[in-house]
Amino acid sequence: QLQLQESGSGLVKPSQTLSLTCAVSGGSISSGGYSWSWIRQPPGKGLEWIGYIYHSGSTYYNPSLKSRVTISVDRSKNQFSLKLSSVTAADTAVYYCARGTVKRPPDAFDIWGQGTMVTVSS
């Protein structure tokens, strides 16, 4: 059964770069034509889609974050990563990785990681 697991720094200083990785187990990131997304949720608030990547490396980012976001894939390690630069307190959130359906754009996210809390603070 496919599982996703986020990892990375839980505390990031303002103006620095947030870095997270999502490890995919129980299946290959390169099979099935799925997309792989990052989604975040500030404490007590709703969900915001950050962007996605396909195993081919093609990406699409939310325009609200596009200037600061990079999503990459490492097929050899079966994982994908998020970098968010110039962070502020507004970037404090639980960050989830999720698998999107094969449709472009994905119409749903059927498998999610457990989420990792990232706090931006000096």
Partner 1 sequence: DIQMTQSPSSVSASVGDRVTITCRASQDISTWLAWYQQKPGKAPKLLIYAASSLQSGVPSRFSGSRSGTDFSLTISSLQPEDFATYYCQQGNSFPLTFGGGTKVEIK
DSSP class per residue in 71-104? EEEETTTTEEEEEE-S--GGG-EEEEEEEEPSSS
Residues in the chain: 122
Contact pick of 31, 46, 90, 121 for partner 1 (by CB under 8 A): 46
Distance (Å, whole) CA 51 – CA 104: 13
Interacting residues with partner 1 between 9 and 38 (CB under 8 A): 37
Q: Does 70 bind partner 1 (CB under 8 A)?
A: no
Cβ distance 51 to 63 under 8 Å? no
Which residue number, 16 or 65, has a Cβ lying nearer to partner 1?
Answer: 65
Contact pick of 31, 67, 88, 108 for partner 1 (by CB under 8 A): 108
What residues line the site for partner 1 (CB under 8 A)? 37, 46-49, 60, 62-64, 96, 98, 101, 103, 105-110, 112-115
